[in-house]
Amino acid sequence: ARAQVRQDDEIGALAGNINKLFAQLSDIEERRKNLDKIQQDFVSNVSHELKTPITVIKGSLEVLDEGLIDDPLEMREYFHQMLSDARHLERLVNDLLELSRLQNSNFEIYKTTLNVTDIVTESVRSMQRIAEKKQVNIRFDNTAGVVLFCGDYGRLRQMFTIVLDNAIKFAPPRTDVTVNMSLEKRRCTLSVSDCGSGILPEDIPYIFNRFYKKQSHQNENGSGLGLPIAKQIASRHDIEITCKSNYCDRTIFTFLFTPETGDEG
């Protein structure tokens, strides 16, 4: 309860301090409730994500164990499906551990001065083969030249690769995924855009939440943890990451950050 005393003396000062304490305790309680809800939702989501592949693997093993399948080709299909589900579980667990590490403020990332252009170029090169399989072309337009930045090379490459992989995943065949990097007023902008199916406006606020997944055949093997991991890496580097999308048209992810120096190349 709040103290209702309004006096310009020691009693009034005590009442004021009690009310300040009340406000602080109320804020702490609200944060505790929010944290409890986040933890409950996390456990619920993890349980749901783990349950499906485990159920499928268990069902397949029971069928094989009972000898209900004796056709070699059909048995091979069962083994292939179980291997696929096991790989999905492995990816999910690894992503959970990765996200947990990044969210821990005590987890150190090792920053050095590096050239962001090199990281983006390497990310584009590493995703080129995946893009070619989908008949998607990656275009990298860089007007910023050399952009020096203090960061963790491996983590930043991971962040860019996650978003680039996402763009390729949803890009239709025979279309472009465009990567643009520019420098203006000592702020560097890096954008990744695709001409895929887009994201509904009401879904955009949640795309960086854990286990958010667009329900489509392109994303059936996704863990729903890629963009949250990218968001955490961006936050640890003071990089602003945003998304804009016109449904059934174009989606653009943008990274905005301040380089150590201006344009050198």
Q: Which two tokens stand for residue 49?
A: 């994500």
Closest CA to 263 of 165, 197, 206, 185: 185
What pTM, to 2 d.p., does this model score?
0.68
Q: Which two tokens stand for residue 160?
A: 């860019």
How many whole angstroms from its chain centre is CA 216? 18
pLDDT score of 265? 41
Q: How many CB atoms lie within 10 A of CB 251?
A: 23
pLDDT score of 264? 43
CA 20, CA 259: separation in Å to the nearest integer? 41
What is the CA angle 8-14-15, rounded to 5?
A: 80
pLDDT score of 262? 46
Q: How many CB atoms lie within 10 A of CB 78?
A: 16
Burial class (CB in 10 A: 0-12, 13-18, 19+), 218: middle
Instruction: Look at residue 187 and give its three-state secondary structure.
Output: strand
Beta bridge partners of 141: 180
Q: Digits of tens for pLDDT over the chain (265 positions)? A: 667 777 777 887 888 888 888 888 888 888 787 767 766 666 666 666 677 778 888 888 998 888 888 888 988 888 888 888 888 788 778 777 777 777 777 778 889 999 999 999 999 998 988 899 889 999 999 998 899 999 999 899 999 999 999 899 888 999 999 999 999 888 999 999 998 877 888 888 888 887 676 555 444 555 578 888 899 899 989 999 999 987 777 899 999 999 986 444 4
Query: Could you tell me whether strands 250-257 and 187-194 are parallel, antiparallel, or unpaired per DSSP bridges?
Result: antiparallel
CA 175, CA 50: separation in Å to the nearest integer? 34
pLDDT score of 41? 64
Closest CA to 196 of 224, 217, 169: 169
